[in-house]
Amino acid sequence: MTIEYEWRGDFDDDALDALHAEGFGHPVTATDWRARLHRYSLGWVCAWEDGALIGFVNVAWDGGRHAFVLDTVVAPHRRSHGVGTALIATAADRARAAHCAWLHVDFEEHLRPFYFAACGFAPTTAGLIAL
């Protein structure tokens, strides 16, 4: 298994739509990922295996010192192989290189071991308003 990780990789919207839908369990939509990412993101990381998109993470930011991990997704057949951890590590390295001081993540409870143990995030006190 040779997997390549690419910062701000050139992806196909349909391929990312399919990966996102499979990973998050929703129907495939016609999202204009390229426009969204170029407008709101510091960057993103694509994981490729034999030319196929098998992983993705978006790194949104505030234009300053705070970056935010969104949409971390790995194809089901490559989960538990370190792909997600490598995606986050690459995202953190690139956010650090852009002089961000903080990398934030929100997640569902079942992902706690992944983000805390595997990726090195620390628990914090935060707030949320459902809109």
The predicted structure's pLDDT at residue 127: 84
pLDDT tens-digit readout, 70-126:
999 999 999 999 999 999 999 999 999 999 999 999 999 999 999 999 999 999 998
22 pLDDT higher than 90: yes
Q: Which residue has the higher pLDDT, 131 or 4?
A: 4
30 pLDDT higher than 90: no
7 and 45 in contact (C-beta within 8 Å)? yes
Question: Tokens representing 87?
Answer: 């995606």
The predicted structure's pLDDT at residue 56: 97
The pTM of the full predicted model, rounded to 2 decimals, is 0.93
Q: What is the residue extent of each domain of the chain? A: 3-118
Q: What is the mean predicted confidence (pLDDT) over 5-30?
A: 93
Give the residue carrying structure tokens 């490598």: 86
Count of residues making up the chain: 131
Q: What is the mean predicted confidence (pLDDT) over 42-64?
A: 96
Question: Tokens representing 61?
Answer: 């930011």
Q: How far apart are CA 98 and CA 90, in angstroms?
A: 12
46 and 11 in contact (C-beta within 8 Å)? yes
Q: What percent of the chain has pLDDT over 70?
A: 99
Q: What is the mean predicted confidence (pLDDT) over 53-68?
A: 96
Task: Note the CATH number of domain 3-118.
Answer: 3.40.630.30
